[in-house]
Amino acid sequence: TNIWADEDLNTIAFIHRSDYSSNGDNSSGSLRFDYSTNGGSTWTSNAGPIWNPNLSGYAYPGFARYPRIGILNETGNTNPLNASVAVWAPTLVGTNGGAWGGALMGTHKMDNTTTNVSVDTTGGHLTLDNSYVDGGNFWGLSFHQPDYDVEEYTDTVLVWKGTMDWSTDSMTYVEHRAYMPVTNETANGKIVGDANIFFAANGTTGYISLEAYDSTLAPAKVIHPYLIKTTNGGSSWGSIMGPNLDELVDNGSGDSLVTIFDQITGGTWSIGHLTSSTRGHDLAVDANGNPHMFVHVFPGTGTAASGGTPAADFNYFPGVNLLVDIFTTDGGLSWDCNIVSQVFTFDF
């Protein structure tokens, strides 16, 4: 996420690319942040820069894009300006397809006195996925695809874990690798959407969620959310698990999602398989350590609108959209859901 709140410090931080024409930075690939130390009532804008490379093209260490942020705070500290922010962003070093290839990681003290950042180019990085912080720990996701123009995603997630050294206001990183497969479908290759990482309060139980297609979990060729779990802080990860969207029943109404879509469309559609989408999901872990995936669900493959023909593989109807909290309380043996809201976008 590019915005982070620390309740203990009553502080919010938001990271963004630089408006370099107004502040003297070298380019829009520089990074600055805004912060509030009173819960959002007032803000300090354009602190930093956190990152300000002086480059003329796509070269190491690279212009930054799509930055993420988190607030790192030492136990016992109550002064927001003594805290640091963790940064995680892809950079355009030109070593992978689309000029990608770099992963910017590091810390910047909120009083702007200390910056320790570096760029890794060993992982075949693309646009990167989300990051998470807790106290003095950091985790960042990069889905391994070292030759983007030629090869598919390698079914390997690079999990960068950082541990803060408060004496130097810098972070030590270790790269762990997790197996998170995506089916290589004949006509479409590997469909890989966005991913998130989140940890329980104990800092050891955590999950990575992904929107993609895995034929061992999905009942048809649809996009669907699934997870892997760690119990040792991210050093190792378990096997994939996830729901069959067709079988989910809304706890509030007692009706299946298939039935609810039939009601929404007035009983004039033939609802086939349910699908999610490659973008726009979120992940949280509750007080009991159970994962919750917040996803959009649509009628998908095999669905026929009134008088229409069945939707093809991986197709869906964006105008018929439910935002759903999908969760498990038994380690993935069974799945529950709560409809948060119908999303009224487009017509159907």
Amino acid 346: pLDDT: 73
Look at residue 335 and tell me whether its pLDDT is greater than 70.
Answer: yes
Amino acid 345: pLDDT: 78
Q: Indicate the helix (H) or strand (E) that contains 181.
A: none
Amino acid 129: pLDDT: 95
Look at residue 70 and tell me whether its pLDDT is greater than 70.
Answer: yes
The rounded mean pLDDT for the chain is: 97
Q: What pTM did the predictor assign?
A: 0.95
Amino acid 348: pLDDT: 66
Look at residue 347 and tell me whether its pLDDT is greater than 80.
Answer: no
The answer for residues whose C-beta is within 8 angstroms of residue 81's C-beta and 6 or more apart is 37, 109, 110, 111
Q: Indicate the helix (H) or strand (E) that contains 258.
A: helix 257-264
Quick one: average pLDDT of 136-149? 95
3-state secondary structure of 261: helix
- Tell me which residue of 307, 302, 313, 155 sits closest to 239, measured CA to CA: 155
Look at residue 313 and tell me whether its pLDDT is greater than 90.
Answer: yes
Residue range 97-123, pLDDT digits in tens: 999 999 999 999 999 999 999 999 998
The rounded percent of the chain whose pLDDT value lies above 90 is 96
- For the chain, the domains span 3-179
Torsion over CA: 200, 203, 209, 214 (sign): negative
Look at residue 15 and tell me whether its pLDDT is greater than 90.
Answer: yes
- Count of alpha carbons within 13 Å of 86, Cβ hemisphere only? 33
Contact 32, 99 (CB under 8 A): no
Residue range 20-43, pLDDT digits in tens: 999 999 999 999 999 999 999 999
- Tokens 């069959």 appear where? 244
Amino acid 124: pLDDT: 84
Quick one: average pLDDT of 189-218? 97
Contact 303, 310 (CB under 8 A): yes
The answer for residues whose C-beta is within 8 angstroms of residue 56's C-beta and 6 or more apart is none
Q: Indicate the helix (H) or strand (E) that contains 23.
A: helix 20-23
